[in-house]
Structure 1
Amino acid sequence: MELRPIKKKSVEVEAAEALRNHVVGGGVPPGGRLTEMRLSEALGLSRTTVRTALHQLANEGLVVQLPYTGWSVTSLSSTDAWELYTLRGSLEALAARLLAENLDSDKKGQLHRAFDALVVACGKGDEVAIVDRDLALHKLIVSLSGHRRLAEQYRLIEQQIRLYLIWSDRLMPSVEDIIATHRPIVEAIVAGDGRFAEGILRDHNETAGRVLFDFLKQREAAGVGREAPPPARARNRAN
């Protein structure tokens, strides 16, 4: 195996990664407060380093800075859900069409492996891993499309999509449904019909997005706080 140079990471980058994993892993609920002092104590880092990391997460849309009071994890509203599912639906639909029209055996293999990884995560019932593998499959479709600017735009909302998926995946009745809704995506792309794959991806995002939008809209009408965590799903495992 060929040796590759080891990439050194700055303390600020490592701090951002730790905080990002803490947030997207559900360590702090949507709307939950973050204080630089507590984070610096927990991480064993200076407040200046923690503040730099928090600004990075703010650029990714994961946290927001509150004037004079600190930071909070970004909460998800029905409007946020609508904007994210319509935007990612457009980006991913285009990526699916481009990928289907320029497919080769290597790309097919990568798609199948990404889907298999999602199936494994669902089989274990690990909700954090399910979100990771779900996002990884969609990111792969975008990256394999060969459209650099499309991939750059997707990266701008990638972590916001991760938060979106934490809610969206939990609204699936079971993990079997997560698998069942992603299998047609891979099959459509592998079939090589660009327009069909484009439609499948658009419908996938529209259907799941509308479920989350309606759910959040009902919570807002009922006066449920945006800091309330996503609903717990029955922990059914895939066979």
Structure 2
Amino acid sequence: MENTSFKIKKVQKRSAEVQAADVLREAIVSGEIPLGTRLTEIHSSEQLGVSRSTIRTAFHQLVQEGLIVQIPYTGWSVMTLGPEDAWELYTLRASLEALAAKIVAKKVGEDTASGHVTSAITDAFGLLKSACQQGSKGEIATADMNLHSTIIKLSGHSRLIDQYSRIQSQILICIRSSDALVASPAHIVEQHLPLINALNNGNAEEAAKEAILHNETEGAILVSHLQQRDK
């Protein structure tokens, strides 16, 4: 039989440093490693079965993502989420997502590859609805994050995508914290409907407005919760 081409993914070569950063990142955003936890290179290297230099490189990567803080002469610590942190993240996120929503809705309105765009939005929203119907809290937060990151990617704005990626892990932590405050998962779906409708209708100004409103509304609730917690 002759050799034929198959549609399969290529093997990805990933360094130990990248794998260590991935494991630590997932543990932090999932809550397995609680926010504010002190980290040491020795303990982490023993747990992950890698060298201290590998862990150090992974820590530095997560510092760039804002998930770990390097404390001079002291060591490393997982980020905390206080009222000021939440405010900074949701206001920054609102600006970035509003721009992305405006660009994406404009693409739909101008019929520029709108079939691909609306299909991607529908699929991502469908995953969120499924997660809210039968998923765990972690799965809901992941699907919620996926919907927003899909809109960012669909914008095709390379610098916007790059800036968003720098805070995406912190945003996921905020989403997990915010979604946990919602009484029913069905409400999470309802929160996103105005934005989804504006995008699919190709209404750029409305989409931008809804992106801001969604972030400001849920962000303010989270900030208020954190303020009460810290009293």
TM over 0.5: yes
Matching of residue 67 in structure 1 with residue 77 in structure 2: no
Task: Give the C-alpha shift of residue 116 in structure 1.
Answer: 1.0
Task: Give the C-alpha shift of residue 67 in structure 1.
Answer: 3.2
1:185-207 per-residue CA deviation (whole Å, 9 max, x = no partner) reads 21210011111111111110010
Equivalent pairs: percent with the same residue? 45
Distance 1:125 1:69 in 2: 40
1:66-215 equivalent positions in 2, closer than 5 A: 66-103=71-108, 104-215=114-225
Match in the other structure for 1:10:
15
SS state at 1:102 partner: helix
Q: Is the 8 Å Cα contact of residues 40 and 47 (structure 1) preserved in structure 2?
A: yes
Distance 1:125 1:141 in 2: 22
Unmatched 5+ stretches in structure 2? 1-5, 109-113
SS state at 2:14 partner: coil
Match in the other structure for 1:237:
none
Matched to 1:207, the amino acid is T
Task: Give the C-alpha shift of residue 66 in structure 1.
Answer: 2.6
Task: Give the C-alpha shift of residue 3 in structure 1.
Answer: 4.1
TM-aligned CA distance change 1:34 to 1:124, over 3 Å: farther
Task: Give the C-alpha shift of residue 100 in structure 1.
Answer: 0.6
Distance 1:29 1:184 in 2: 34
Distance 2:52 2:207 in 1: 48
Q: Is the 8 Å Cα contact of residues 115 and 183 (structure 1) preserved in structure 2?
A: no
Distance 2:94 2:28 in 1: 24
Q: Is the 8 Å Cα contact of residues 125 and 175 (structure 1) preserved in structure 2?
A: no
Task: Give the C-alpha shift of residue 98 in structure 1.
Answer: 0.9
Q: Is the 8 Å Cα contact of residues 78 and 213 (structure 1) preserved in structure 2?
A: yes
Matched to 2:170, the amino acid is Q
CA RMSD of aligned residues (A): 1.4
Task: Give the C-alpha shift of residue 2 in structure 1.
Answer: 2.8
Matching of residue 21 in structure 1 with residue 26 in structure 2: yes
Distance 1:204 1:46 in 2: 43
Matched to 2:45, the amino acid is S
